[in-house]
Amino acid sequence: MDKATVIGMVLGTAAIIIGIFLGGSILGFIDPPSIFIVIGGTISVLLISFPMNDIKSLIKIMKNAFLDNQKSMKETIELLVQLSERARKEGILAIEKVLEDIDDAFLSSGLRLAVDGSDPEAIKESMEIELQNIETRHKRGQQILDTGGAMAPAFGMIGTLIGLVNMLKTMSDPSSIGPSMAIALLTTFYGAVMANLIFIPLNTKLQGITAREVNQKELIIDGVIGIQGGDNPRMLRAKLETYLPPSLREKE
């Protein structure tokens, strides 16, 4: 799991909780009806706006993102160069035996096409359509997080308006104004925290994840085409390493 993300989430929550403790008690910030308005309202807009499948797909994407089981670019290049060496020595069909050991579904399905003898153009097209599908799914996920980040504060404000109207209608006892107003403000607080500590940072993170995943898949496409074409492994490595920052490239 991505350490910086965990540290960030813990630190962010801590900053808010400590801020609360220093001036009052945490209990004063928990109000179930207010939580219901903000979370219920935000979820309801997501349900209206997006098909169920897109929402489920986002949850899956985010889970993968946190598990961070993505191979590093460097390891992927090593794997592709090894496969290229094998294919060169023992022929492309030798790849078939190791297909089962490859746990990247995108790479193994590309290699299967190569082993089956499809022509390079067809392999490339097929892999690129796959890549586009992944991008489209991620983009929809970003739209959902975007909508969440806009709706949580909106329902926070709606909740505060409800609280204010209720308070003002029955403003007979001045001593009750303070606590009523405090509760009215809680929905705005919940909305701001949900948007700024959850939806907006996860959206930024997902953008970065998408960029890296697309980059890695493009590397794999170049690698598979090179393996099928019987490229010299040393040349293939040089070509694939242009995807790395200079400091990570193999010194010759």
- Torsion sign over Cα 121, 132, 105, 102: positive
Site residues for its own copies, 62-101, by CB under 8 A, read: none
Which of 64, 234, 242, 250 is in the footprint of its own copies by CB under 8 A? Answer: 242
Separation of alpha carbons 63 and 96, rounded Å: 31
Which of 67, 91, 179, 232 is in the footprint of its own copies by CB under 8 A? Answer: 179
Number of helical (H) and strand (E) elements in the chain, helices listed first: 10, 0
178 near its own copies, judged by CB under 8 A:
yes
Which of 58, 61, 113, 188 is in the footprint of its own copies by CB under 8 A? Answer: 188
Shortest distance, position 86 Cβ to its own copies, whole Å = 27
Residue number, 182 or 214, with CB nearest to its own copies: 182
Cα→Cα distances 5→172, 205, 222, 237, 249, Å: 48, 9, 31, 32, 27
Are 75 and 83 in contact by the 8 Å Cβ rule? The answer is no
Are 240 and 222 in contact by the 8 Å Cβ rule? The answer is yes
Separation of alpha carbons 72 and 213, rounded Å: 10
* Part of the chain binding its own copies (CB under 8 A), chosen from 86-94, 111-119, 182-190, 221-229: 182-190
117 near its own copies, judged by CB under 8 A:
no
What is the distance, to the nearest Å, from the Cα of residue 40 to the centroid of all Cα atoms in its chain?
Answer: 23
Residue number, 4 or 89, with CB nearest to its own copies: 4
Torsion of CA 40, 43, 49, 54, to 10 degrees: -160
The site map against its own copies for 127-156 (x = CB under 8 A) is --xx--x---------x---x--xx--xx-
60 near its own copies, judged by CB under 8 A:
no
Shortest distance, position 149 Cβ to its own copies, whole Å = 11
Residue 72: phi and psi, rounded to 5, are -70, 155
Residue number, 98 or 197, with CB nearest to its own copies: 197
Q: How many degrees, rounded to 5, is the angle at CA 214 between CA 208 and CA 219? A: 130
218 near its own copies, judged by CB under 8 A:
no
Q: In this structure, what token pair is assigned to residue 115?
A: 């082993």
3-class state of residue 207 by DSSP: helix
Site residues for its own copies, 16-55, by CB under 8 A, read: 16, 18-20, 22-24, 28-29, 33-34, 36-37, 40-41, 43-52, 54
246 near its own copies, judged by CB under 8 A:
yes
Which of 110, 141, 148, 159 is in the footprint of its own copies by CB under 8 A? Answer: 159
Which of 94, 99, 102, 182 is in the footprint of its own copies by CB under 8 A? Answer: 182
